[in-house]
Amino acid sequence: MDRLTSHFGVCPDLIKDLVLANRILAHHNVLDTFGHISARCHIRSKGIDEDCYLQATYHAPSLVHTQDIALFSVRTGESVDPEEQRKGPLERHIHAGLYRARPDVQAVLHCHAPMLVTYSVLANAGTMLQPVLHVGASAGRQIPIYEISDHFGHDTDLLVKTPELGDDLAKLFGSAVSMVLMRGHGATIASQSNVKDLVHKGIYAVINATIMRDATLLGAATGSTGVPRPLSNGEVEACGDWVSAVHRSWPAWVAELGLGKDESL
């Protein structure tokens, strides 16, 4: 962290929030050992004037510390620091591509939460994931599914690990889209606010999907022929901005990690 703050002028609090976000999302089983979250930042220091993002290097989210955070270029998806020798996440181009396509996006999450993967492989329109929970409305009314084979064939490993793939995925993130499912892979979620807001979106995206799954199964078990009733467009609009609620949730989520008072991140 020392080099990021002293050489590049990165805010220490942003680094700490990103570390905590990794651990909180792992604690809530939104991130497994391969998912990742990033935060946008613009660097104007030491002759550098570039749109960048902070992201942990190749570490499991539950084990991320401040010294594991590195700086990547939005333009290329590669490290900004010439002294950086550590390996970045294979799918860092998910983040770079989305930041390039959406200048308003401030944080990006990519996860493999099983409940979200489940909905990514269902092709029937009646089983498409939709917001059914008021605090899950931040995922937005439109939740498209990215099909990598549409442009890259049926022999890929489904990973978004090149700039071209990152740009292709980002095309689904129109102005009204904040979450895209990725068939057989996971989900990518964006926040126009900050890392804390994105943690809220990620946790409640999984909870919302679980509720929709349970409602679907309950309906089938009781002979119902309908699908779970989603929130209306107006309800999504009214419920969708939960940024202010994060100030209540964040301290509780941090406390769940059981960090000692003097424990270093």
Amino acid at 53: Y
**Residue 171 is inside which H or E element, if any?**
none
Query: 91 catalytic, yes or no?
Result: yes
Question: Can you give the length of the chain in residues?
Answer: 265
Quick check: 217 and 114 in contact, CB under 8 A? no
Residue 7: phi and psi, rounded to 5, are: -90, -40
Q: From the candidates 83, 84, 91, 147, which is the catalytic residue?
A: 91
- Kindly state the tokens that stand for 198: 């994105």
Residue 215, amino acid: A
CB atoms within 10 A of CB 58: 14
> Which residue carries 């930041």 as its tokens?
99
- Residue with structure tokens 């949730």? 249
Tokens standing for 114?
Answer: 């099983």
- Please identify every residue annotated as catalytic: 91
